[in-house]
Amino acid sequence: MVVADVDPFAVMNVVGLLAFAIAGALKAADAGLDIFGVGVLGVVTALGGGTTRDVLVDRLPASLAAVGEMSVALVGVGLALVLIHSLHGQVRDHPAFLTSDAIGLSAFAATGALVGVQAGVSPFGIVILATITAVGGGSIADILIGRVPVVLRDDFYATPAVVGGVAFLVARALGAPTGVPSALCAALVFTVRMLALRYEWRLPQV
């Protein structure tokens, strides 16, 4: 298989689905949910952002149209169940949770931007779609378990996605070849998110 033949959307989508299914399932375990709650929250976190994205651009969500997305999400939940039994200490601050969540954020920001281009939305629309796709699943999951969504608790949760969306636009405007804008977007989201976690970045109060 030649690299040029790889569909950037498909790669980012599978990575994001797996990472967010793991992050969502770990979050459910942290909240003390039982095995059904763990499965539901893993699936909702994995499928929520992309389904919202597809509804916004007025197309049948990929999560409903084919069996692929749900299958990948269930594999992710399975991996999380194995992981849960080997984790020690608070799941909320565990590197396994924070890293899988950051990977999901990065990959889904890229899928949001790619779908925005396909749907012919405005530049703002592309940044909005990148951000909503990235933070959507986790926010729905937080609301379901009665928490204020992380997107409002943590300054650098949506901010990295906004930065990634803008980088995607710039790379496209500069004529970067297929796959480069989305890879750059994902890499930047991940880097900014991990740095923000490591150095506890905060935005100023009003």
Q: Which residues bind a copy of itself (CB under 8 A)?
A: 29, 33-38, 40-41, 51, 55-61, 63-67, 70-71, 81, 84, 116, 119, 121-125, 128-129, 139, 143-149, 151-152, 155, 158-159, 202-206
Using the minimum distance from each CB to a copy of itself, give the nearer residue, 95 or 120.
120
Using the minimum distance from each CB to a copy of itself, give the nearer residue, 4 or 67.
67
Using the minimum distance from each CB to a copy of itself, give the nearer residue, 143 or 173.
143
- Least CB distance to a copy of itself at residue 166 (A): 13
Q: In whole angstroms, give the CA distance from residue 139 to residue 48.
A: 9
Using the minimum distance from each CB to a copy of itself, give the nearer residue, 32 or 177.
32
Q: In whole angstroms, give the CA distance from residue 63 to residue 13.
A: 11
CB 110 within 8 A of CB 186: yes
> Which helix H or strand E contains 62, and what residues bound it?
helix 62-65
- Least CB distance to a copy of itself at residue 44 (A): 10
- Least CB distance to a copy of itself at residue 110 (A): 17
Q: What are phi and psi of 196, to 5 degrees?
A: -60, -40
- Least CB distance to a copy of itself at residue 3 (A): 29
CB 161 within 8 A of CB 139: no
Query: What is the residue type of 26?
Result: L
Q: Which two tokens stand for residue 99?
A: 């890293």
Using the minimum distance from each CB to a copy of itself, give the nearer residue, 8 or 116.
116
Q: How many CB atoms lie within 10 A of CB 99?
A: 17
